[in-house]
Amino acid sequence: MRNKDSKEVVMNKNGVSHAIQRNIDKVSYIFLTPMICFFIIFVLAPMVMGIFTSFFRYTMRDFSFSFLSNYTRMFADPVFRRSLWNTVVIVVTSVPLVTIFSLWAASAIYERNRSTTSFFRGVFYLPVVMGTVPVVVVWKWLFNPYFGLLNYVLKAIGVMAPNVRFDWLGEQSTAIWCILAILFTTSIGQPIVLYVAALGNVDKGIEEAAEVDGASRLRTFWQIKWPSIMPTTLYIVVITTINSFQCFALIQLLTSGGPSYSTSTVMYYLYEQAFTYYNYGYANAMGVILAVIIAFFSAIQFRVMRSEEA
């Protein structure tokens, strides 16, 4: 029972008096103010606006309620469907490739001497620190049909006929694979660093005991190392999935979604609709769908992670 006149100290559920709780609240909110201001103005408000305006016909001239029309339009739009398909292809290809390769690379380098380990770790991290744009412009040159090194090398070793000018980024059959290759080089840096650290933390004693007992290399890996690097693997899968879903810079700089939308992704199409055609409502609806898809994947992965811990 609350009784303000009572001389007894009234405790709340945290086991402190109301006066103290008020003081805690005051201090806490003072500390939280900067973060909350930034969060509300630049994350929460635009998020709410984005969801809200996705139900409107919203362009430069027009702003009228249209309920789900942006959403129905989206699924009838062949370009959107193509972009969604490409996004799925990118995610489904790059996530396993990146995860498996970085696990292999990390296990190949982590037991060597310190300088070898840090050399390779540094090299594979190089495309990340160089920045996406410098990496992309040099690759665009390497893929160029006239001045690119790739065609030159293929001709020099006799794989390609000397008079061919193959346009790697201009052909539907190859463009998306070129993008995937570059995406791969910019994605493996962080996973390798994480795996090297995780493998280094595996209990050496158990590992040696298993080897003394005659367990094979593969068996030691699956039974001892794999369980202890599981959380790292899940984290890597989550971040690689999210990054692959958001693949944008590569596409905008290399192909602009072409040829004929064969490399367009949801992110790229969203950008094009919003900033080239000014279809804001439509773009926001795509953003919402992308967010729902990503949130769905993250939720599954977090669920798995939880059950692993338990």
Partner 1 sequence: MEKTKLKNNGNMLYRIFSMVILVILAILFIFPIYWIITGSFKTVPQAIPPEWFPSEFTGMHYEKLFRQPAWRWLFNSVAMAVLSMALVLIASSMAGYVLAKKRFTGRKIIFSLLICAMALPKQVVLVPLVRIMNFIGLYDSLWAVILPTVGWPFGTFLMKQFSETIPTELLEAAKIDGANEAMIFTNVVCPVIKPAFGALAIFTFINTWNDYFLQLVMLASRRNLSISLGIATLQAEMSTDYGLIMAGATLGALPIVIIFLAFQKYFTNGITMGAVKG
User: Contacts with partner 1 in 118-157 (CB under 8 A)?
Assistant: 118-135, 137-142, 144, 146-147, 149, 152
Reading the block at residue 291, the tokens are 């967010």
Separation between Cα atoms, residue 232 and residue 19, nearest integer Å: 44
Nearer to partner 1 (CB atom), residue 7 or residue 88: 88
Judge contact between 282 and 74, C-beta under 8 A: yes
Q: Does 274 contact partner 1 by CB under 8 A? A: yes
Separation between Cα atoms, residue 85 and residue 70, nearest integer Å: 19
Nearest distance, CB of residue 108 and partner 1, angstroms: 4
Nearer to partner 1 (CB atom), residue 93 or residue 246: 246
Among 87, 233, 270, 272, binds partner 1 (CB under 8 A): 270
Task: List the interface residues with partner 1, window 40-69 (CB under 8 A).
Answer: 40-47, 49-51, 53
Judge contact between 10 and 20, C-beta under 8 A: no
Nearest distance, CB of residue 290 and partner 1, angstroms: 6
Which range binds partner 1 by CB under 8 A, 84-92, 171-179, 202-210, 266-274? 266-274
Q: 9 exposed, middle or buried (CB, 10 Å; 0-12, 13-18, 19+)?
A: exposed
Nearer to partner 1 (CB atom), residue 46 or residue 96: 46
Nearer to partner 1 (CB atom), residue 26 or residue 81: 26
Task: List the interface residues with partner 1, window 6-35 (CB under 8 A).
Answer: 14, 16, 21, 24-25, 27-32, 34-35
Task: List the interface residues with partner 1, window 71-110 (CB under 8 A).
Answer: 105, 108-109
Structure letter (DSSP) for residue 93:
H
Nearer to partner 1 (CB atom), residue 34 or residue 78: 34
Task: List the interface residues with partner 1, window 290-309 (CB under 8 A).
Answer: 290-291, 294-295, 298-299
Amino acid code (one letter) for 65: F
Separation between Cα atoms, residue 161 and residue 146, nearest integer Å: 14
**Bond from prior residue into 231 cis (ω within 30 degrees of 0):** no
Reading the block at residue 39, the tokens are 């969060």
Q: How far is CA 281 from the centre of its chain?
A: 25
Separation between Cα atoms, residue 50 and residue 270, nearest integer Å: 13
Task: List the interface residues with partner 1, window 183-242 (CB under 8 A).
Answer: 185, 190, 193-194, 196-197, 217, 232, 235, 239, 242
Nearest distance, CB of residue 94 and partner 1, angstroms: 16
Helix (H, G, I), strand (E, B) or coil at 65: strand
What end-to-end distance do the CA atoms of the chain give, in Å? 39
Which range binds partner 1 by CB under 8 A, 1-9, 61-69, 87-95, 247-255? 247-255
